[in-house]
Amino acid sequence: MNRQWLFVRLPNPMQSRPETHAIRVMTTMAGGLVGHLRAQDPDALWEFRRPNAAGQGDLGLWFHSFEPVLKELERRLLAHTSTYNWPMISGTYAPETAKYQTPHTLRIAHRLATRSSSFALELLLDGALDAAQRQSLAVAHLWQISRLVPEREQSAFLFHFWQFGAAGLDPADRAQEAAEADARAAAPAGAARVPGDAALWECYLSSVRDAVATAREDGVPVNFLLYDHVLLTHERLGIPARTGARAARTIRSALAAGTPVPTPFTSFPGVMPLQSA
């Protein structure tokens, strides 16, 4: 029996405050659906994507499993959405072949999306993150993932996030962001706490390491996948691109100065750092 895809869109019925709707759906419904999926098919894939920063688009859920499992998930989705009077639209899965180019790269991307979505779901179960949490999380997450990139390529890898997040800023705002990021780079390591506990982070980081190891052995473009993975994970967590840019600049500045990256992982003795290739 082959696995298939189930894709649904959950539009915001009020057409306002899209983040509130997305968080409510994830906290009240997604956890139970994912728990059932894992119980029935431990190797199943899933992911979610939120509306973009401008509130455009719908919350999307994707599940990849066997037909009986997907039928039960769809039944549960219909029951949940009916209870809350949320609209639900079933769609057709369209693989992002233009973006990922090869079937194997696409499979690795799906694996990473599952890890990313599960990680984000756990961090969002208590509600949306505030600005300080998003900032400390962006630094911690980007620092850990960037350590999978060969050391000689880390600075360029991080610079791409700065370029992406600062692209829409005027020169004055860009200079202000750079100054703030550079000041954060000189802050004591561990000054801010990162959301999530050590067990959650280690499970997530281990799964990313495994996926990347497989990709590297098979000649898949790892740096591209990691860049894409970080952006999508930050979107799921509600971390604005501007916050991600500031985090990237902070890490680059700390590395250039030879000072410790100001990540809260000092309070997580159980988390093993990722190793560069």
Clarify whether residues 70 and 169 are in a common domain: no
* Residue with more model confidence, 237 or 52: 237
* Residue with more model confidence, 265 or 201: 201
Clarify whether residues 31 and 116 are in a common domain: no
Helices (H) and strands (E) in the chain, counts: 11, 4
Predicted confidence band of residue 271 (pLDDT cuts 50, 70, 90): very low
Residue 79 structural domain: 4-94
Clarify whether residues 183 and 249 are in a common domain: yes
Cβ distance 25 to 86 under 8 Å? yes
Clarify whether residues 81 and 182 are in a common domain: no
The pLDDT, as a whole number, for residue 41 is 98
Tokens of 153: 């390529």
The pLDDT, as a whole number, for residue 80 is 95
In a domain? residue 126: yes
Helix 103-124 and helix 198-217, axial crossing angle in degrees, nearest 10: 180
Of 94, 118, 140, the last residue of a domain is: 94
Clarify whether residues 169 and 251 are in a common domain: yes
Q: Alpha carbon of 216 to those of 105, 158, 175, 209, 231: distances in Å?
A: 11, 20, 37, 10, 20
Clarify whether residues 128 and 194 are in a common domain: yes
Clarify whether residues 45 and 78 are in a common domain: yes
In a domain? residue 75: yes
The pLDDT, as a whole number, for residue 158 is 97
pTM for this predicted structure: 0.92
Q: Please give the average per-residue pLDDT across 140-155, as a whole number.
A: 94
At residue 249, does pLDDT exceed 70?
Answer: yes
At residue 28, does pLDDT exceed 80?
Answer: yes
Q: How confident is the prediction for the chain on average, in pLDDT?
A: 90
The pLDDT, as a whole number, for residue 26 is 92
Clarify whether residues 212 and 177 are in a common domain: yes
Predicted confidence band of residue 122 (pLDDT cuts 50, 70, 90): very high
In a domain? residue 245: yes
In a domain? residue 159: yes
At residue 115, does pLDDT exceed 90?
Answer: yes
Clarify whether residues 52 and 119 are in a common domain: no
At residue 272, does pLDDT exceed 50?
Answer: no
Of 94, 127, 145, the last residue of a domain is: 94
The pLDDT, as a whole number, for residue 162 is 96
128-142 tens-digit pLDDT? 999 999 999 999 999
The pLDDT, as a whole number, for residue 168 is 86
Predicted confidence band of residue 266 (pLDDT cuts 50, 70, 90): very low
Residue 277 three-state SS: coil
Other CB atoms closer than 10 Å to residue 35's CB: what's the count?
Answer: 10
Beta-bridge mates of residue 101:
none
Clarify whether residues 165 and 63 are in a common domain: no
In a domain? residue 276: no
Of 94, 124, 147, the last residue of a domain is: 94
Q: CATH no. for residue 27?
A: 3.30.70.600
* Residue with more model confidence, 146 or 267: 146
Residues 6+ apart with CB under 8 A from 96: 106, 109
In a domain? residue 37: yes
The pLDDT, as a whole number, for residue 277 is 45
Clarify whether residues 39 and 176 are in a common domain: no
Clarify whether residues 247 and 116 are in a common domain: yes
Provide the number of structural domains found in the chain.
Answer: 2
Cβ distance 242 to 171 under 8 Å? no
Give the whole-number percent of the chain exceeding pLDDT 90.
Answer: 76
In a domain? residue 275: no
Integer Cα distance of 31 and 82 in angstroms: 17
Q: Which of 58, 77, 73, 46 is nearest to 12 (CA)?
A: 58
The pLDDT, as a whole number, for residue 260 is 86
In a domain? residue 273: no
Tokens of 185: 């780079």
